[in-house]
Structure 1
Amino acid sequence: MRIVAAMSGGVDSAVAAARAAEAGHDVTGIHLALSRNPASYRSGARGCCTIEDANDARRAADVIGIPFYVWDLSDRFHDDVVEDFMDEYAAGRTPNPCLRCNEKIKFAAVLDRALGLGFDAVATGHYAQLRTGADGLVEMHRAVDHGKDQSYVLGVLDQQQLRHSLFPLGDTSKPLVREEAARRGLLVADKPDSHDICFVADGDNAGWLAEKLGERAPNRGGDILDDATGEVLGRHSGTFGYTIGQRKGLRIGRPAPDGKPRFVLDIEPVSGTVTVGPRERLAVHRLRGIKPRWCGTVPTELDGPDVTVQLRAHGDEHRATVVVTDGPEGQEVDVELHDAAYGIAPGQAVVVYDGTRVVGSATISATERVPA
């Protein structure tokens, strides 16, 4: 097959490209230029969008012996990922930009361009596994290395995208990938993993949002209220600086009467109100998802000991009952958790699993807390 290998400049994508070439595929390496000004993105080895990363990817392609190109998708990335990130925070929600990048950029814009150029598939360094099911559909499963499993952020992929994807690292642990990179002479063998959000240069999400949102924020200041008494505990300079479940940086100034820490329970961007309270008030037992994306056949109801949901990229699995219904604006996903989850915010993704198989995902629109 003719394969486009998306090379971020890290060790995982380099080894994935090398494995694809070694398997006999006709591989072309590409690096995605996602920043309109790469010099403004994070320097060093913490990100995936720097000039340094592009150079690392080019050197890896030279060692592997494959052609290499840079594809400029900065405008598409800004519109579909960065703007979405800002809009969601301004609305009081908590988005996952990596998941949105996979949906809109790596497996939409890149795949569309690759197919248009006559390529058959896109290979990436994500940790997930693909298998063909008994019904002939391509199934996505968790990686062998559950500690590095990235199926959560790939839960937005549909059947068409899965049929044109390759994940060569799904059967390997991260330490073995690094050892293999060293054996192959790839200089990125010891390069640290990327962290945080690639377009937030210093990892300070709240500071970045305060600078970028400007007057777009519906309310740049407001009260911090106690959930139990309604008392005003302090002031803040923007709801976009808070996420549900946050404990640090609340700037309340005094502890709760019982001495226990407070957490952000609710965010209301229109009034500018942030409500805080004890951790037990964060317990969620039901949630609703909208805009679902299914990896294969659309389910109607999922229940049983193997049905779970994951609510964060590296979060726990929760046994659940999942029901798909038709709502006023399309399909909706109702999830009843068999054990409570804490700090779940609208805007996050709920990814549904049947054993190790990814069924699909949806964007959380509402949660229902365990009664006090």
Structure 2
Amino acid sequence: MQTNTLSPNATSSESPQAVNTVPPQMVLMQMVTAYWVSQSIYAAAKLGIADQLKLGPQHCDQLAVTTGCDRTALYRLLRALASVGIFAETEPGYFCLTPLGDYLRSDMPGSVRDASIMVGDPEHYNAWGNILHSVKTGESAFENLFGMNIFQYYAQNPEPAAVFDRAMTSFSSTEIAGVVAAYDFSPIRKLVDVAGGHGSFLFSILKANPHLEGILFDQAEVIDRAQSLIGSEPLLNRCQLAAGDFFEAVPAGADAYILKHIIHDWDDERAIAILKQCHRAMTADGRVLVVEQVIPPGNEPFLGKLLDVNMLVMCPGGKERTAAEYQQIFAAAGFKLTRIVPTETFVSVVEGVRL
């Protein structure tokens, strides 16, 4: 059965009428088998195929030698990925990168190679295979499968933890640029990046806003790594590093607290607890800035709707939220939601002021 009737390689000569006449069961079949594509991309990412092709086309036999693969099996994989626009077969046996495939290169800004590996590795892939547990119980399929939550698992397994860190860093770079461009930081004097990791987000904000002072706040072991990574950063004269637990306290005295992809890790009770710590620590005219995907109403496609299911599967209590849900948790923490600032990426800045 051919399931690629809506291939990304479809040419502009195909009429809308031709596309619209694809039988609905075929469209559904493409959706059903979508994980065949994602796992094929995973295999290519894991093998580093895009890095091998960045200087130009290569014959599959040479790629097989370089990557330690069976040449016939590798050809079948690359042919399948060429059919969905990741690679292109330029002449028999020779493959090159496409604009999509470029983003599987490890050196490409905004690369999704590590994200492809993270999603395809057993931690995510097997947890999604256990999705019925989450749907039936509301509990994390990952925790049910591995006997611990994902944060505990990463603490005990440094290799997948490193893949996760790299994936988040790559994915985050585009979001950071979008937030810096979309949100006006000029009224803010001191900004705390809560659970800010190694500081790339905060430092990007500080570079774009020379008047700002910043505090990078995270757990002690994260701050220790951040110190070694950014020790020579000239912006350190405008940035303090602080360690702690955001359920217990956050640095006091700032007029803005920003949380990027933090609140979505937690259920409402714990999300409110984190926001309350920010409320308690900030100045009287302070504000909180939550950077997350905000789920829109209606049936339109939006990545956050699927990411929300991923949070259900992977994180105990994790969820994406609608504007109304953010309004509710903000109010419970002592904030008024003032506006939601969209960016050119999937994330928005949800702003709340202290009541």
Where relative contact order (Cα < 8 A, 6+ residues apart) is larger, the structure is 1
- Say which structure is richer in helix: 2
- Say which structure is richer in strand: 1
Q: Same fold per TM (> 0.5)?
A: no
